[in-house]
Amino acid sequence: MSESKRIWAVEVAPSAINELCRGTLAEALGIVFTEIGPDYIRARMPVDHRTRQYLGILHGGASVALAETVASTASNLVVNPQTHYCLGLEINANHLRSIREGYVIAEAHPIHLGRTTHVWEIRIFEEGTDRLIGIVRHTTIVLSRLVQES
């Protein structure tokens, strides 16, 4: 089996990303980045009072927020941060199973890394199992940083 090609323009530890997430929705939902592989990124999120809906199961919106957080972060690690940045453009989610407690893991892999758009597949599964909770496709737009003259 061949080793995956590294796709990152920026090499950063998950702990540095977690530090950037302080005071954001990611922190409010308990999202923590745990791993950056050669061509994927992972984060975990608790299924608790912050992320459940009134029926006691994981809220679909929390799953989508997790997926967008992971994929948008990944897109920004693929581009040169001095010249470009990425923002969410479109997201599509399929909620396959419910979960009431524990943690979910989101793992994002690129489908397309183009000059102006990136498309990511994010699989959300129950921590410690292969039980797929949801699958998400997220498209980001790649934007140039404008240099402002004084």
CA angle 11, 45, 91 (to 5 degrees): 75
Instruction: Extract the tokens encoding 108.
Output: 């994002």
Domains of the chain: 14-144 (3.10.129.10)
Q: Tell me what percent of the residues of the chain surpass a pLDDT of 90.
A: 91
Q: Which residues participate in catalysis according to the annotation?
A: 68
58-69 pLDDT, tens per residue?
Answer: 999 999 999 999
78-134 pLDDT, tens per residue?
Answer: 999 999 999 999 999 999 999 999 999 999 999 999 999 999 999 999 999 989 999
The helix (run of H) or strand (run of E) holding residue 92 is: strand 84-95
Q: How confident is the model at residue 36 (pLDDT cuts 50, 70, 90)?
A: very high
- Mean residue pLDDT of the chain comes to 95
Pick from 136, 135, 138, 92: nearest CA to 117: 138
pTM (2 decimals)? 0.94
